[in-house]
Every structure is written in C-alpha cells, then in structure tokens.
C-alpha cells in the first residue's frame, strides 16, 4: 500500500496510552501520521511522546496556527482518520457534528474514511445515548472497531475495552484500501440483510435471530468500493448504512418483491438476509387469545417461495448471485457439503457458508465463512470482523466480474490479469 496521510485522533480515556501503539504501528508501516489529541488526551499522554512516536509536530489547540487555517487543513489533507480511543463524549460530539476543538474541526473538514475505536466502561457503552450515537455514525459510513470484551480499568470487566492497536490499525488500513480501490465503481449491487418476520396476528410474528450486521457490512463495503448499492433491509438491528438506496421490508413475500425488482439489470445480488421458509397459513385480524387453543395451540404454516432459487433458476444473464447458508452443522466437511449442495440447488454462483448456533454467528461482530464456487471448490475462507469478511467476499465477486468482462471482451485489458 502506498504511504497514506493518516490523522490519529486521541481522546481523553485511560486507553489513550495504548493509542501510542496505534501511532507507532502506522509509522512503522510507512505512513505519515499526524496526531490530533484532545485536551483530555494530553492529560493521559504527553505531547513529546506523541511527537517522538509520530515524527511530526502535534497540535491540539484550535486557536494556534490560524494563519495556515489549520482547523481545516489537517482534515483536508488526510487519507484516513483513526480515533483511538473514542470516548463516549467524543462519540456524542461526532454524532452531532460538534467542532469545539481541533479534532472536531478536522473530522468535519475531511472526506476521508473515519475509523473509531470506542473505549469506555460497560455501562457507558450500553447506554441508549451512546448506542444511538454509534448507530448514527455507522449509518454515516464510519467504521467502528470494537470495543472488545475484557478487563476494564477498575476491577470490572465487560464490553468497553479498547481493541488492541494491531486490530485497530489492520481495520483502518483495510477501510482505507477499500475506499482507494474503487473496484466496484460503475457496478450495481443489491444486498439483502436482516431477518424476515411473518405475522401471526397484529402483535406477534415468527422471526429469526439475524441482526443484519453481515449484510449491512457487505452493503457498506460495496459502497466504499464505488458500487451503487440497493439494500433490501428486513428488520435490521443495526443502523442503515450511508449512501445506499435502502428499501425496508418485513416479510419474505415483501423481500421477494423488492429484491426481484431491484435485481433487474444488477451486476451482483448478495442474499445475506435470513428468510423464513414458512409463514402462518392465515394472519389473525385480532390478537390470538391465550385460550384460543385447547390447552395447546397448533399453527398451520405454508411454504414461502425460495427467493434465491427463484432468481437462480430464472434467466439472470450477467447478474452474479451470491447466497448464504447459515448452518448448525458442527463438522467442517459436512458443513461444506451442505454449502455445495445448497449452491447447486439454488443456482447461485457463490455460496457463503457459516456456522450458527446459540452463541455463534448472529449479532456477533466477527464471522468465519467459507465461500463455495460453481465447481464446488472453496474459493475463499474469511475470518475476522464482519467488515473484513465483507471485503473478502467482495474480492471474490470483483475477480469474477473481471473474469466475466475479460471473457466477454478479450481485447480489453482487465484488472484481474
Ligand atoms: O435454504 P436456506 O434458507 O438455508 O438458504 C439460505 C439462502 O437462501 C440465503 O441466501 C437466503 O437469503 C436465501 N433464501 C431465500 N428464500 C428463502 C429462504 C432462503 O432466498 N425462502
């Protein structure tokens, strides 16, 4: 990767001492690093340390260097902004767009990708205000790394610990690389995400535990790589990504209609949503009463259409279909075989297989997947944050699109060569 101009914002949390490791890793990787600490951060780490490690002068005061318009110059020059640690206070300021210090101004003046590593006590992280601010930032395309679960500053432990510097740096550079790549520019990508809900009555539904995180990460990553993205969002538990055309649906039939419409002329359709295989045969007009059954209650269900198979078996010339298979199978080989059979049955070009269970898969920030191709071969294995897994899946897609383009026009130079 060519050297980047990276701004590292450090805010006033105890984890600020670990931010020195972030700065050092970026410098050692050859990047030009400019540290912008808040006043609070400078109570934890001294400016001389930051200047020595970053090998650049460190500015924190909004009213210094006014002649060189420093409050916007730093942000305008940045290729990437990393804020580590990001305190609850800074997260709130970023979400509202406050610019009462040099870091706030730098962020607002920049179009560079923003990656933040939250660090705070568990209660502060879980507070609805913080969660709403995180959702806002996520919906604006900010990459959130962590927080990790573990020992906090006091005797307590839980989610809130800043991710380790190497994890933050890897995620930040990956994000910058995706923004710089733009290898999906001019492509139209449709992604389904979340889980469908099938109503039983006005207040109840049959649903599943899919949070939509992996699908949203794919939509975000495709957007960052230059695609025009339509996201068919089924009951997301995470914020909607920025810059995507979002169509909200709830049931499998609604999802079918939305995706069939959006898929026309699309280059890629990624079916990451967990779609209900069955729906209640009838929806009660009023709330089903406790005594509706005779001690128990039997629900009659009817099959939903298999949307992916419908797309896969209809002519879809030039549209690459990527399906998902979430399986509880514990044996790796058998899991893979299920994926192979499912890809074939649905007529998808690729099938992304992952294991799910009571504690695996759903709502987690990390994922481990295997991508099966048309020949049944494993074309990729990915493990990491759902964002990095998203990029690995899109790498497969991009290379397939390039191969198809090269086959269609062998005289053109194509990037995959
Ligand atoms: O058959 P299974 O539900 O495991 O298949 C998962 C894949 O098929 C996912 O890509 C999912 O979005 C899609 N699917 C579908 N319509 C259904 C069920 C699943 O398109 N009714």
Q: Which domains does the chain have, with CATH numbers?
A: 5-179 (3.40.50.1950), 182-408 (3.40.50.10300)
Q: In a 10 Å sphere around its CB, with 0-12 CB exposed, 13-18 middle and 19+ buried, how is residue 241 labelled?
A: buried
Label the pairing between strands 350-355 and 366-372.
antiparallel
Ligand 1 closest atom vs CA 252: 21
Region of residue 347 (left: phi > 0; alpha: psi -120 to 50; beta: else):
left
Specify whether the CB–CB gap between 194 and 207 falls below 8 A.
no
CA atoms within 13 A of residue 373's CA, in its CB half-sphere = 11
Whether ligand 1 lies within 6 angstroms of the CB of 218 is answered as: no
Whether ligand 1 lies within 6 angstroms of the CB of 252 is answered as: yes
Residue segments in the chain with a per-residue pLDDT below the cut of 50: 415-417
Ligand 1 closest atom vs CA 322: 10
Which of 133, 208, 304, 367 does the annotation list as catalytic?
Answer: 208
Whether ligand 1 lies within 6 angstroms of the CB of 325 is answered as: yes
User: For the whole model, what pTM was predicted?
Assistant: 0.71
What is the distance in A from the centroid of ligand 1 to the CA of 195?
11
Whether ligand 1 lies within 6 angstroms of the CB of 350 is answered as: no
Whether ligand 1 lies within 6 angstroms of the CB of 327 is answered as: no
Q: What is the pLDDT of residue 68?
A: 75
Whether ligand 1 lies within 6 angstroms of the CB of 311 is answered as: no
The preferred substitution site among 271, 311, 343, 355 for testing ligand 1, maximizing ligand atoms within 8 Å of CB, is 271
Q: What is the pLDDT of residues 181-234, one digit of tens each?
A: 789 999 999 999 999 999 999 999 999 999 999 999 999 999 989 999 999 999
Q: Tell me the sheet residues that pair with 82.
A: 8, 115
Provide the 10 A C-beta neighbour count for residue 292: 10
Q: What is the pLDDT of residue 417?
A: 36
What is the dihedral sign for C-alpha 54, 60, 63, 69?
Answer: positive
Whether ligand 1 lies within 6 angstroms of the CB of 271 is answered as: yes
Q: What per-residue string of b and e applies to 207-221 under the rule 16 or more CB within 10 Å gives b?
A: bbebbbbbbbbbbbb
Nearest protein Cα to ligand 1, atom 17: 306
What stretches of 127-239 adopt beta strand conformation (E)? 143-144, 148-151, 157-161, 188-194, 198-201, 204-206, 228-234
Q: What is the pLDDT of residue 279?
A: 98
Q: Which long-range contacts (CB under 8 A, 24 or more apart) does 28-32 make?
A: 29/1, 29/169, 29/173, 30/3, 31/3, 31/4, 31/5, 31/6, 32/3, 32/4, 32/5, 32/6, 32/56
Q: What is the pLDDT of residue 360?
A: 64
The preferred substitution site among 232, 254, 275 for testing ligand 1, maximizing ligand atoms within 8 Å of CB, is 275
Provide the 10 A C-beta neighbour count for residue 236: 22
H/E segment holding residue 334: helix 332-346
Compute the distance between CA of residue 312 and CA of residue 322 in angstroms, rounded to an integer: 10
**What's CA 241's distance to the chain center, in Å?**
8
Q: What is the pLDDT of residue 410?
A: 67
Nearest protein Cα to ligand 1, atom 7: 324
Specify whether the CB–CB gap between 81 and 114 falls below 8 A.
yes
Percentage with pLDDT > 90 across the chain: 70
- Catalytic-residue membership of 56: no
Q: What is the pLDDT of residue 359?
A: 62
């Amino acid at each position: 990767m060519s050297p980047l101009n990276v701004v590292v914002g450090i805010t006033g949390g105890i984890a600020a001492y670990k931010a020195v490791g972030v700065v050092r890793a970026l410098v050692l990787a050859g990047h030009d690093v400019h540290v912008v600490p808040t006043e609070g951060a400078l109570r934890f780490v001294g400016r001389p340390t930051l200047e020595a490690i970053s090998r650049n002068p460190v500015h924190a005061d909004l009213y210094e260097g006014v002649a060189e318009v420093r409050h916007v110059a730093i942000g305008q020059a940045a290729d990437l902004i990393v804020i580590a640690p990001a305190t609850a206070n800074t997260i709130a300021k970023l979400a509202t767009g406050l610019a009462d210090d040099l870091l706030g101004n730098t962020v607002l003046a920049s179009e560079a990708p923003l990656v933040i590593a939250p660090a705070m006590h568990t209660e502060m992280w879980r507070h609805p205000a913080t969660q709403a601010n995180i959702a806002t930032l996520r919906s604006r395309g900010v990459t959130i790394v962590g927080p990790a679960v573990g020992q906090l500053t006091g005797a307590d432990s839980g989610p809130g610990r800043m991710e380790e510097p190497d994890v933050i740096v890897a995620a930040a550079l990956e994000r910058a690389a995706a923004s710089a790549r733009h290898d999906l520019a001019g492509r139209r990508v449709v992604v389904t995400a979340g889980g469908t809900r099938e109503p039983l009555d006005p207040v109840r539904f049959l649903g599943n535990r899919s949070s939509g995180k992996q699908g949203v990460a794919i939509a975000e990553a495709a957007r960052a790589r230059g695609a025009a993205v339509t996201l068919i969002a089924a009951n997301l538990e995470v914020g909607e990504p920025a810059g995507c055309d979002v169509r909200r649906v709830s049931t499998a039939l609604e999802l079918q209609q939305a995706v069939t419409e959006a898929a026309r002329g699309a280059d890629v359709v990624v079916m990451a949503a967990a779609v209900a295989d069955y729906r209640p045969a009838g929806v009660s007009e009023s709330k089903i009463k406790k005594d509706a059954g005779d001690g128990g209650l039997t629900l009659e269900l009817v099959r939903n259409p298999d949307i992916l198979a419908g797309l896969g078996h209809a002519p879809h010339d030039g549209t690459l279909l990527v399906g998902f298979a979430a399986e509880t199978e514990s044996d790796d080989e058998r899991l893979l075989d299920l994926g192979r059979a499912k890809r074939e049955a649905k007529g998808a070009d690729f099938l992304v297989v992952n294991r799910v269970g009571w504690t695996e898969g759903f709502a987690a920030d990390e994922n481990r997947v295997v991508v099966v191709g048309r020949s049944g071969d494993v074309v990729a294995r990915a493990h990491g944050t759902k964002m990095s897994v998203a990029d690995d899946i899109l790498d497969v897609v991009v290379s397939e699109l390039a191969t198809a383009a090269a086959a269609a026009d062998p005289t053109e130079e194509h990037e995959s060569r």
